[in-house]
Copies of this chain bind each other. A is one copy, B any other.
Amino acid sequence: MSDALKPGARIGILGGGQLGRMLSVAASRLGFVTHIFEPGANPPAAQVADRLTTAPYDDADALRAFADSVDVITYEFENIPTEALDLLEAHRPIRPGREALRVSQDRLTEKNFLQSLGLNTAPFADVTDLASLNTAIEEIGTPAILKTRRFGYDGKGQARLRAPEDAEAALADMACAPAILEGFVEFSHEVSIIAARGLDGQVACFDPGENVHRDGILHTTTVPARLRPEQRTDAVLLAANILNALDYVGVMGVELFVTPSGLIVNEIAPRVHNSGHWTQNGCAVDQFEQHIRAVVGWPLGDGQRHSDVVMENLIGDDMDRVPDLAQEREVALHLYGKAEVKPGRKMGHFNRIAR
């Protein structure tokens, strides 16, 4: 722990949503003090952070003052503008590092990176215009999904092509942004593995969770996932492969499709991940503390799971269920302190524990 920050050190977090909020709480458990940088008003993370800077990502003075006020910088989302990162990095270390952001900010770069490691992905092709989309359709077939290369999340920035005739409409949906066409994969279910790598290169993985989505948004994660022992081993090895290749520091979420012929990497997220929220009530060290441990140079927790857990997201009006959920044994609530309930908005989650 020679490079380790000591309790009392300051951690800067880019992004003030629920992930930043839970990172801030985890940091406080280890005695660290947090500073949130967030352009939007009333960020949930600020309610449990020591300091808040409200400024856009192109405010160089605010970025500089933020960086100077902390000892290390991390983030809750991957779409941070490159210029902001350049400026911040000149002042303080950013963990996970730039390479992870470069790769994961662009679906095309990410898929090429994963294939370069010998990992399986869905078939894909670069799409820049109608001509390249039609070529891609010939190559990959339909049904397929057109996805913007950048700034997609929770099913946003995606259009489904049922048949080649859908090409033009799908491209219009994307507002002609650079995209990839992705072929459908026949999979039985989706799992994700939350993996961490320390400053010293140590890797620790949480048990894979099985994900169910609704309307393009994660609905539940169940641990243990349905995986054969060799699939579980594969998941851990491929996650370690990705982390090592990126010289990664922090927690990463890796989404995987389970198919008869093996695991296929759907996507990676260089941050704590919604499908890792179960760790809050299933492990001694959860994904948020694990991430903080990594970015401050502490030893990682071992990721051991002590309980079976089903995590369920509370989206929009699901908040009406809170009074009933509060009465249930073995239900641990985690609400995000968001002022306004909106359809599709992640308002909280709960972990139902089975021992």
Contact residues of A with B, CB < 8 Å?
A: 1, 4, 7-8, 21, 24-25, 28-34, 46-50, 281, 284-285, 293, 298-299, 301-302, 304, 306-307, 319, 322-323, 326-327, 329-337, 339, 348, 353, 355
Contact = CB atoms under 8 A, between A and B. Distances in A.
Given A7-B322, A284-B330, 19 more contacts: A7-B335, A7-B337, A24-B48, A25-B25, A28-B47, A28-B48, A28-B337, A29-B333, A31-B335, A31-B336, A32-B337, A33-B47, A33-B337, A34-B47, A48-B48, A281-B284, A284-B329, A284-B353, A304-B329
Contact of A46 (B31, B50, B293, B337): B50
13 contacts: A1-B326, A7-B348, A25-B25, A28-B47, A29-B334, A29-B335, A31-B337, A46-B50, A48-B49, A48-B50, A281-B284, A284-B330, A285-B332
A298 B50 CA distance: 28
Given A7-B319, A7-B335, A298 B284 contact: no
Count copies of this chain in the complex. 2
Given A48-B49, A284-B329, A339 B8 contact: yes
A11 B34 CA distance: 21
Contacts of A355: 306
A299 B47 CA distance: 24
B25 A348 contact: no
Contacts of A284: 281, 329-332, 353
A285 B334 CA distance: 11
